[in-house]
Amino acid sequence: MVLKGINASDGVGLGCAVCVREESLDYSDVPYSGKEAEKARLQNAIDEFNQRTAAMADRIREQTGPKEAEILTGQITMLADPFMLSQMQEAIDGGSCAEGAADAVCTMYADMFAGVDDELMRQRATDVRDIRSRLLSILMGVTGIDLSALPAGTILVAHDLTPSMTVGLNRENVAGIITETGGRTSHSAILARALQLPAVLSIAKALELIKDGDGLIVDGGAGVVVLSPDARTRSEYLAKQKDYQEKTAALEVYRDKSTADADGKYYHLYANIGSAAEAETAAQSGAEGIGLFRTEFLFMDRTSLPDETVQYEAYYAVSKTMAGKEVIIRTLDVGGDKAIDYLGLEKEENPFLGHRAIRYCLDRPELYKVQLRALLRAGAEEQNIKIMLPLVTCVEEVRAARELLDQCKKELAEAGVPYDKDIALGAMIETPAAALIADLLAQECDFFSIGTNDLTQYTMAVDRGNAKVAKLYSPFQPAVLRSIRSVISAGKRAGIPVGMCGEAAADPGLIPLLMCWGLDEFSVSSASVLATRAQIHRWHEKDFRRITEEALGMSTASGVEGYLKASVNQS
Ligand code: PEP
Ligand code: MG
């Protein structure tokens, strides 16, 4: 059976399904076995919880550091609170099974902590919720899949790919990824590309159609999944896989080349990363800098805020890895499709239009200043860090962020802490509002980077992760192209560099247009660095000018895309 989804990460993978299902923690059918038996079940579960949590803490202490491990040991301490235990026992005396008792008491504490107007207390709410679900899983015998011990040739099938899943993943044994949700620029797609694994997203009901052990082929470039392929189909795809591998190997000649077009004009070619560890991959990929470090990944998959030291260490590590090269670090881009439980963001009707990114950060200056201080300090030695603001819509936001940055500089200077006093501050241009006032923003910013993932979403009024409207979500839409062109031109008039860190920067069809309009910097996933350099190398100015003029004369996205793809294949 052939299933069509969204082509999220190139490559062809063949293997067998391992399905990651969210297990139900519904205990309504669990019988009550009497006071003593339920209390014994509860105590056994708590003992098991403590053992597993201590083992996890040890692992995290080795892999990440003592601070992260403390979060887990803190949970053991919380659960050791005699008052909490006696409340659970009382619930059992009142006729609850162990599951009901653990659920009721943990939920009561979580609600209580969540209602307190104090950051630390709210973080405790997240901890108690975590304790609740892990205790219930133990009581109900629900075991998750160990992603660090997957068999070779695994095709991972999940509702969504989350950063926590990727943390422990033994990548070598994974041949491909399939999810039920997400679009080309969703975070699942970005993670899959960072892992350099073929991925097809938005396969409706994948977890119903696919069973553990089913034979699968994932063609990430075409957005196609083949379920239970026959021998002939397998050999066809093995040939396609070989072809892909050969093409990738042929790009190696570009690794040590500079990024210049056929007339010798240079461009900057940077990489997008989501963690300090990925900076190593970026450096090896031939990237000449980092054009986007998505710092929200540092805030996800934790139960509390990363403090200034944790943040400083991550930014400093990237700065050092890329010494002598630029590192553009985006401040916390939370909200929209990026939920972080412990921040206590309220549920919103329209999260993409809501309290997110720079809006959220400016309303939480104490939280934001921790990040700004960490960035200023991390840039002190190499002086290669630039700070980038997400989702800017008006000049006031840049001014307010600059004001906080100045406060941080003053505080650091007073405390005698070294920092980069000339750190650059730039804006992402990813909303129609920012694009329309790019000339005004250019007076306030040291640089721009165009975020086409969101710029396309907001310009076209189309949710970037919604498969039903995916056909409208295209950077080839004339509206999006006009917007990009005018932003680059506003930046050039003001004399500030303009980059692009949205996925469109790696699109072979768009590259000649971006070159024609004078884009200074292309920032792409590490996996796309060499292919992007190869594309830039092939164009002469006279050709990209002609093609751009022709494309701009067209009135539909499909017309533009078809024309550009044909031109790229011909030249
Ligand atoms: C963008 O919107 O283009 C972008 C690069 O940011 P993100 O994908 O993280 O929203
Ligand atoms: Mg964005």
Ligand 1 binding residues, C-beta < 6 A: 185, 292, 294, 333, 430, 451-454, 501-502
Q: What is the pLDDT of residue 68?
A: 61
Task: Provide the sign of the torsion angle of the four alpha carbons 433, 435, 439, 443, taken in this order.
Answer: positive
What CA–CA distance (Å, rounded) separates 54 from 70? 10
For 2-19+151-159+170-180+195-252, the fitting CATH number among 3.50.30.10, 3.30.360.10, 3.30.1490.190, 3.40.50.300 is 3.50.30.10
Q: What is the pLDDT of residues 366-383, one digit of tens each?
A: 999 999 999 999 999 999
Question: How close is the Cα of 501 to the center of ligand 2, in Å?
Answer: 9
Q: Provide the annotated active-site residues.
A: 187, 501
Q: What is the pLDDT of residues 461-474, one digit of tens each?
A: 999 888 889 899 99
Nearest to 438 by CA among 504, 368, 490: 490
* Least confident segment among 20-29, 328-337, 376-385, 529-538: 20-29
SS3 524: strand
Looking at the CA of 296, name the nearest ligand. Answer: 1
Please provide the DSSP assignment of 179-218 as one string: ESS--TTSHHHHHHHHHT--EEE--TTHHHH--TT-EEEE
Which residue puts its alpha carbon closest to atom 3 of ligand 1?
451
* Least confident segment among 274-278, 371-375, 510-514: 274-278
Nearest to 550 by CA among 523, 520, 512, 508: 512
Q: What is the pLDDT of residue 65?
A: 60
253 pLDDT more than 80:
yes
SS3 492: helix
Angle at 26 between CA 23 and CA 29, to 5 degrees: 130
Question: How close is the Cα of 259 to the center of ligand 1, in Å?
Answer: 23
What CA–CA distance (Å, rounded) separates 296 from 290? 16
Question: How close is the Cα of 454 to the center of ligand 2, in Å?
Answer: 5
164 pLDDT more than 70:
no
Structure-block tokens of residue 370: 């921790």
pLDDT category of residue 435 using cuts at 50, 70 and 90: very high
**Is 35-140 in CATH node 1.10.274.10?**
yes
Whether 98 contacts 38, CB under 8 Å: yes
What CA–CA distance (Å, rounded) separates 433 from 425? 19
Query: Which DSSP state fits 128?
Result: H
338 pLDDT more than 90:
no
Tell me the Cα Rg of the chain.
25
Give CA separation, 508 vs 272, 351, 392, 486, 504, in Å. Answer: 17, 32, 28, 20, 9
The residue length of the chain stands at 571
Query: Which DSSP state fits 382?
Result: T
Which of 187, 430, 498 to mutate for ligand 1's pocket (most ligand atoms within 8 Å of CB)? 430
What CA–CA distance (Å, rounded) separates 195 from 38? 45
* CATH level 2 (architecture), domain 264-570: Alpha-Beta Barrel (3.20)
- What atom in ligand 1 is closest to the CA of residue 450? 3
- What atom in ligand 1 is closest to the CA of residue 453? 3
Question: How close is the Cα of 431 to the center of ligand 2, in Å?
Answer: 9
Predicted model pTM: 0.81
Which of 428, 450, 455 to mutate for ligand 1's pocket (most ligand atoms within 8 Å of CB)? 428
> Who's near 68: CB < 8 A, 6+ residues apart?
60, 61, 302, 310
Question: How close is the Cα of 191 to the center of ligand 1, in Å?
Answer: 13
Helix runs in 392-448, H state only: 395-415, 432-436, 438-442
What CA–CA distance (Å, rounded) separates 92 from 412? 54
pLDDT category of residue 518 using cuts at 50, 70 and 90: very high
Task: Provide the sign of the torsion angle of the four alpha carbons 539, 542, 545, 550, taken in this order.
Answer: negative
Distance of CA 184 to the CA centre of its chain: 12
Question: How close is the Cα of 229 to the center of ligand 1, in Å?
Answer: 36
- What atom in ligand 1 is closest to the CA of residue 296? 9
Q: In the predicted model, what is the mean pLDDT of residues 159-177? A: 81
Whether 261 contacts 540, CB under 8 Å: yes
Residue for token digits 């549920």? 347
335 pLDDT more than 60:
yes
Nearest to 449 by CA among 514, 508, 400, 405: 514
Whether 136 contacts 25, CB under 8 Å: yes
Q: What is the pLDDT of residue 60?
A: 60
Structure-block tokens of residue 430: 């990813």
- Torsions phi, psi of 162, nearest 5? -110, 160
Q: Structural domain boundaries of the chain?
A: 2-19+151-159+170-180+195-252, 35-140, 264-570
Which residue puts its alpha carbon closest to atom 7 of ligand 1?
453
Which residue puts its alpha carbon closest to atom 9 of ligand 1?
294
Q: What is the pLDDT of residues 394-423, one digit of tens each?
A: 999 999 999 999 999 999 999 999 999 999
Q: Give bridge partners of residue 228 from the DSSP assignment.
A: none
Whether 512 contacts 547, CB under 8 Å: yes
- What atom in ligand 1 is closest to the CA of residue 390? 6
Provide, for the chain, the percentages of residues in helix, strand and coil under a 3-state DSSP scheme, each rounded to the nearest 5. Answer: 55, 15, 30
* Per-chain mean pLDDT for the chain: 92
Structure-block tokens of residue 527: 């996996």
pLDDT category of residue 67 using cuts at 50, 70 and 90: low
- What atom in ligand 1 is closest to the CA of residue 502? 3
Which of 292, 453, 523, 524 to mutate for ligand 1's pocket (most ligand atoms within 8 Å of CB)? 453
Whether 386 contacts 326, CB under 8 Å: yes
pLDDT category of residue 63 using cuts at 50, 70 and 90: low
